[in-house]
Structure 1
């Protein structure tokens, strides 16, 4: 049975992801993932395993994501038994003092969390998708049946 403590623990892991990112600490960021985690970037690159996730973020923090921070919101947490949860949210990277407004977050993210033997919740799978608002608007206009129920 999941509890409010489980939900709070998962929210804390998501907050720690932002904190470790802001410090550009690839090792600490990677420690939030299971040893065999998978990670799919918004450009479609697939990483397998914590070591791969750590090394790619070490390189990204040194170059393309240098001086960036994470902004995000959790839109849903659903538990599938006592040790598995799926978290859906929106996120983005940014530079500067002000995070983008929630409505401007350009990525949709799905994380599968598992509670490991040590009792800690970790990310077992992360998938990041770039939103295409113009394409969404065209789809919604030309095929209204594609509009998600939450937006109707």
Structure 2
């Protein structure tokens, strides 16, 4: 992995985070390949860019209003083959309320991404798996 590739991948992931926070899901989806797989923190497996974007658009307004506190940090970028990179990020969402009546909770997690270089030289996300650090489901009794 050369410095240019790493810089380009970090830029893609900064854009990913910015678009996700602003909930610009069509532009966010363009960062993925058409056949991208995305596994959510709740175990839902979307098998295309279209499914991924549609699923991420389906979010209650109360949750959308909280996205401004979300952050994501790149932890590692590794080349696994020519034009293929494995990336791990850590995300943090303090004070998240899954429902307006729920107590706020500080959520953290990790995203594992497989990126591939496209024929035009751009990196795109081919697969992503989001995992919550604390492993609690939104509907857990407390």
Q: Which TM-score bucket, shorter chain as reference?
A: 0.7 to 0.9
CA distance in 2, matches of 1:28, 1:118: 18
Matches within 5 A, 1:88-127: 88-94=88-94, 106-127=108-129
TM-score where L is the length of structure 2: 0.78
CA contact (8 A) 1:37 1:124 kept: yes
CA distance in 2, matches of 1:64, 1:29: 20
Q: Deviations over 1:92-150 (max 9, x none)?
A: 33579xxxxxxx761021000000112110111100111138xxxxxxxxxxxxxxxxx
CA distance in 2, matches of 1:85, 1:41: 20
Choose 1 or 2 for highest CA Rg: 1
Q: Which runs of 4+ in 1 moved over 6 A?
A: none
Give the number of aligned pairs: 124
In the superposition, relative to structure 1, how do residues 121 and 95 fare at CA in structure 2: closer, same or farther (>3 Å)? farther
Higher share of residues assigned strand: 2
Query: Over the residues paired in the alignment, what is the CA RMSD in angstroms?
Result: 2.1
Structure 1: any 5+ residue segments left out of the alignment? Answer: 97-103, 134-152
TM-score where L is the length of structure 1: 0.74
CA distance in 2, matches of 1:106, 1:43: 14
Higher share of residues assigned helix: 1
Is 1:20–2:22 an aligned residue pair? Answer: no
CA distance in 1, matches of 2:37, 2:92: 19
In the superposition, relative to structure 1, how do residues 111 and 27 fare at CA in structure 2: closer, same or farther (>3 Å)? same
